Amino acid sequence: MKRRVVITGLGAVTPLGIGVEETWSALVAGKSGIGPITSFDPKDMTTKIAGEVKDFKAEDYVSRKDVRRMDIFTVYALAATRMAVEDANLNINGNNADRVGVVIGCGLGGLNTIEKFHRIMLEQGPKKVSPFFIPMLIANMAPGQISIAFGAKGPNVAIETACAAGTHAVGDAFKHIQRGIADVMITGGVESTVTPLAISGFNAMRALSTRNDDPQKASRPFDRDRDGFVMAEGSGIVILEALDYALERGARIHGELVGYGLTGDAFHISAPAPEGEGMARCMQMALDDAGVTPEEVDYINAHGTSTDLNDSFETRAIKTVFGEHSYKLAVSSTKSMTGHLLGGAGGVESVISVLTIKRGIIPPTINYENPDPECDLDYVPNVAREGKVKTVLSNSFGFGGTNAALLFRQYEP
């Protein structure tokens, strides 16, 4: 028998706000977190906009000394984890530490640190490179620092699968609990790569929006006039627990995680497989894992990046899996408001999926103004929608042809 896995804690640091409530309030109000880049001067960049985290005080979550020894992506992950652990009222101690694990997804790791110390080395020489350079930049320092800060001695793993990393992390953590490897998992995704090198690289691929004169309308998934995704940063963390463990300690339960799918396209380094074939198999795998029929799904939190191939192929993949039910589903992309957090997206969107079930409100796809004939589903255009939501599918797809999907359900004893 598979162990049932429930969600007991939520934490978020996003371009929409610091904390779950600030983020959620902005989402249901249809607000955009996109604006001009402020962390560096983008005057020579083709793209000058991003979804930056605003008004974040690192010292509220990490000591001043440790802030200097961490890349900001790790600080974001620690901050979101503190929120989630507090929300779960989780006490990690000598009695349970070896049964509490951490799995965090991250796409690029400490790119801020790499760029900073590369400049220092070129300008001041190799002896000026900090001994903390390597520990600051490696992606597994997010779960590592979380494990150290909270004393979690179970599985300690970093997932680095591009834009699917956060979703893979939550899915893998889910399976660790199902298989009895752990009772509690701290999991989600994080990213902070609004840097000159990252913006330049994605611009070279012609992947980013260049709607610099109107940043809040730049991320427009499924809209005919979309021109690329908008880079964003932040972290989303969920606390997963075995149901029996959560009940025994009297935890508040936000929802249940019931299915996980993961597939590979075996097609191209950046483009999805034709017709979204790999995406469709991934969604079907999540449904099969949960024993849920397509007709039971009420809402899909789409990958929906605001790029031509992703949006059209994801739409086709949904039709492949859900058939006629596709037109009864609500499908929205919250990246229209948050921007694309790359490896952090799946963590934030897991938080959003759980809240959609819990609050009975479906976040909209904003900036949906000119329908694309290739994208003809119900994308919850521009205005949030109230309604009973029992089952949610959350999709994430990444470069290298990697796909991940999670299925969340309303918790029922």
Strands 330-332 and 299-301: parallel
Angle at CA 237, nearest 5°, toward 236 and 243?
140
**How buried is residue 269: exposed, middle or buried, by Cβ count under 10 Å (0-12/13-18/19+)?**
exposed
What pLDDT score was predicted for residue 29? 98
- Ramachandran area for residue 198 (φ above 0: left; ψ -120 to 50: alpha; else beta): alpha
At residue 281, does pLDDT exceed 80? yes
Active site residue 168: no
d(CA 259, CA 373): 31
Q: What percent of the chain has pLDDT over 70?
A: 100
What pLDDT does 302 receive? 98
| Annotated active-site residue in 106, 282, 340, 375 | 340
- The mean predicted confidence, pLDDT, of the chain is 98
Please determine, for residue 184, whether its predicted confidence score (pLDDT) is greater than 90: yes
Query: Out of 106, 163, 282, 375, which one is annotated catalytic?
Result: 163
The pLDDT of 62-84, averaged and rounded, is 97
Token pair, residue 41, equals: 């001067």
Is pLDDT of 158 > 80? yes
Whole-model pTM? Answer: 0.98
**Per the structure block, which two tokens stand in for 413?**
């004893």
Q: What pLDDT, in 10s, does the model give residues 282-311? A: 999 999 999 999 999 999 999 999 999 999
Per-residue pLDDT, averaged over 189-196, amounts to 98
Predicted confidence band of residue 139 (pLDDT cuts 50, 70, 90) = very high
Distance CA 395, CA 138 (A): 26
Tally of CA atoms within 13 A in the half-sphere of 356 that contains its CB: 31
- Distance separating the N- and C-terminal Cα atoms of the chain: 17
Tokens of residue 401, six digits: 């042809």
What the chain holds in terms of domains, given with CATH numbers, is 1-401 (3.40.47.10)
As a three-state string, the secondary structure of the chain is: CCCCEEEEEEEEEECCEECHHHHHHHHHCCCCCCEECCCCCCCCCCCCEEECCCCCCHHHCCCHHHHCCCCHHHHHHHHHHHHHHHHHCCCCCCCCHHHEEEEEECCCCCHHHHHHHHHHHHHHCHHHCCCCHHHHHCCCHHHHHHHHHHCCCCCEEEECCHHHHHHHHHHHHHHHHHCCCCCEEEEEEEECCCCHHHHHHHHHCCCECCCCCCHHHCCCCCECCCCCECEECEEEEEEEEEHHHHHHCCCCCCEEEEEEEEEECCCCCCCCCHHHHHHHHHHHHHHHHHCCCHHHCCEEECCCCCCHHHHHHHHHHHHHHHHHHHHCCEEECCHHHHCECHHHHHHHHHHHHHHHHHHCEECCECCCCCECCCCCCCCCECCCEECCCCEEEEEEEECCCEEEEEEEECCCC
Q: What phi, psi does 392 have (nearest 5°)?
A: -130, 135
The catalytically annotated residue of 168, 282, 303, 375 is: 303
Residue 238 has pLDDT above 90, yes or no: yes
The answer to whether residue 404 scores a pLDDT higher than 90 is yes
Inter-helix orientation angle 345-359/20-28, to 10°: 70
Q: Is the pLDDT of residue 66 over 90?
A: yes
User: How far apart are the C-alpha atoms of 112 and 399, rounded to whole Å?
Assistant: 21
Position 319 scores a pLDDT of 98
Q: What pLDDT band is residue 56 in, cutting at 50, 70 and 90? A: very high
Tell me: the pLDDT tens digits for 337-359? 999 999 999 999 999 999 999 99
Q: How far apart are CA 363 and CA 2, in angstroms?
A: 31
β-strand pairing of 184-191 with 100-105: parallel
pLDDT for res 378: 98
Q: Tens digit of pLDDT for each residue in 79-116?
A: 999 999 999 999 999 999 999 999 999 999 999 999 99
Helix axes 345-359, 165-178, angle to 10 degrees: 70
Asked whether 162 and 399 are in contact (CB, 8 A), the reply is yes
Structure tokens at 259: 């299915």
Does residue 106 carry a catalytic annotation?
no
Cα separations in angstroms, 395 against 233, 247, 407: 18, 29, 9
Distance of CA 65 to the CA centre of its chain: 28
Residue 1: what pLDDT?
76
Burial of 79 (0-12, 13-18, 19+ CB in 10 A): buried
For residue 176, indicate whether it is catalytic.
no
| Axis-axis angle for helices 141-150, 72-88 (nearest 10) | 40
